Structure 1
Amino acid sequence: MSSIYNWGSRQLQDQFDSQRIADRLEQRTVHATFTDEDRAFIERSPMFFLATADAEGHPDCSYKGGMPGFVRVLNANTLAFPDYDGNGMFKSLGNLLVNPHIGMLFIDFEHPGRMRINGTATEHNDDPLLSEYPGAQLIVRVQAEQIFPNCPRYIHTMQIIKYSVYTPRLGYTPPEPEWKQMEEFRDALPDPRNSNTQSFSSGTD
């Protein structure tokens, strides 16, 4: 029985006669432990796309960026990434508190290639990795369940001109984003003195 295809996938595979190749791709490419090549691809990536859903299944997709290496493979089936200061909406991380299922899409635009990771996530504000990520508020750990590459055929080749000046890094203090200085938002910004510093971890590793 397939671990990645639901009845909807099967219905369309039957319609377009693609079940054989779909099954072969699952057999040959889908795995649950990171290879050395997987680790290298992930840890050189300066960004990824993050898919989450709330408790009712309503989806959300966001972009996460950092310096290369900001996503780390910790062991055979666990990776971690930091949550940096954002707009305070906590759409993605809020979803993960009520529904830990996560999808991650890594794309190399300079040398077209992509990797998908599906799994479950936990959040930690007392994670020992926090000390290694300046500017991080939380650490998200992901237990990978499905790791697989995707065909790069439709990836447009692009080049990174420069990394964002707002990207946290060791020995560097990023500037405040311009929108946080706008009058209509300035008085609503979080007061660091009111932050709840009580330790927590969502779920279990």
Structure 2
Amino acid sequence: MQVRSGTTARADKFYAEQVLDRLNERMREFVARQEMFFLATADRHGSCDSTFRAGPPGFLHVLDDTTLAYPEYRGNGVQAGLGNIEENAQVGILMVDFLQDRIGLHVNGTARVLTDTEMRREHPGLPVDPAPGRRAECWVVVSVDEAYVHCSKHIPHLQKVPLTGPGRSWGTDDFKRKGGDFFGAAAEAGERGPYAPPPRPGHAPWREEPAEPVAPPARASSGSGFVSRLLRRRS
């Protein structure tokens, strides 16, 4: 794609100047104050999922310059991200600061899932969140392979609005407080019958027995994961 679009030189400059295999000091400071991030995962077949994670500042913990960890709170029980990680350890994290610096940070790496007991055994100084609904059901620990900037060009500058009424209902099972049937999907459920995703070539039926996890690819010497693999093929 770089050859076809004539961007190879520009991409090589980005790799050389912006892509790190660790979190430097400014990146670690940035991570420590974020209240949300977007997570990309894929299963062993390459079927993708993206999701949103949020919590108080610092809920995405910087354990060291090559390791991040975040708690998994109570959710809808689907476990799409965790299930994907069990099959394919590769993850992509995107943090965007809409409020202050209007900049983003990409982190690509490999993840493993630990119980809360296992996590606190490895990191006994980890704080316990006292808020109801923010008790970690498990933890995801991410080993950093690549960290690089997301430019501010199209990031909107937003402003926080004070909460009105009761605070956030962390961990609530109240249907309406979680958003209710905002998109009308529940109203259509009786018409469409039980959900089953469309078949993919070579893909076994839904809810199949889990297979062996996908081994992570060899670590790239430079460059963003997908494009650096294209560069290695080209060379």
Unaligned 5+ residue runs, structure 2? 181-185, 187-212, 215-235
Q: In the alignment, which residue of structure 2 is the partner of 1:171?
A: none
Q: In the alignment, which residue of structure 1 is the partner of 2:168?
A: 165
Q: CA deviation at 1:32?
A: 1.1
Q: In the alignment, which residue of structure 2 is the partner of 1:46?
A: 35
Q: In the alignment, which residue of structure 2 is the partner of 1:95?
A: 84
2:105 to 87, 93, 115: 115
Unaligned 5+ residue runs, structure 1? 1-11, 168-173, 185-201
Q: CA deviation at 1:179?
A: 4.9
| RMSD, aligned α-carbons | 2.4
1:178 lines up with 2:167 in the alignment: no
TM-score by length of 2: 0.66
- Rg comparison, structure with higher value: 2
Letter of the structure 1 residue corresponding to residue 174 of structure 2: P
Q: CA deviation at 1:178?
A: 2.8
Letter of the structure 1 residue corresponding to residue 20 of structure 2: H
Q: Residues 77, 90 of structure 1: CA spacing in aligned structure 2 closer, same or farther, 3 A cutoff?
A: same
**Which deviates more from structure 2 when the two are superposed, residues 154-163 or residues 129-138?**
129-138
Letter of the structure 2 residue corresponding to residue 154 of structure 1: H
Higher strand share: 1
Report how many aligned residue pairs link the two structures. Answer: 168
The 8 Å contact of residues 28 and 65 in structure 2, kept in 1 or not, is answered as: no
Higher relative contact order (CA 8 A, sep 6+): 2
Q: CA deviation at 1:160?
A: 2.4
% identity of equivalent residues:
30
In 1, Cα distance between the equivalents of 2:71 and 2:57? Answer: 12
The 8 Å contact of residues 165 and 175 in structure 1, kept in 2 or not, is answered as: no
Q: CA deviation at 1:175?
A: 4.7
The 8 Å contact of residues 34 and 97 in structure 2, kept in 1 or not, is answered as: yes
Letter of the structure 2 residue corresponding to residue 75 of structure 1: D
Q: In the alignment, which residue of structure 1 is the partner of 2:190?
A: none
Q: Residues 147, 23 of structure 1: CA spacing in aligned structure 2 closer, same or farther, 3 A cutoff?
A: same
Q: Residues 162, 57 of structure 1: CA spacing in aligned structure 2 closer, same or farther, 3 A cutoff?
A: farther
Q: In the alignment, which residue of structure 1 is the partner of 2:144?
A: 144
Letter of the structure 1 residue corresponding to residue 145 of structure 2: E
Q: In the alignment, which residue of structure 2 is the partner of 1:8?
A: none
Q: CA deviation at 1:150?
A: 1.5
**Which deviates more from structure 2 when the two are superposed, residues 123-132 or residues 68-77?**
123-132
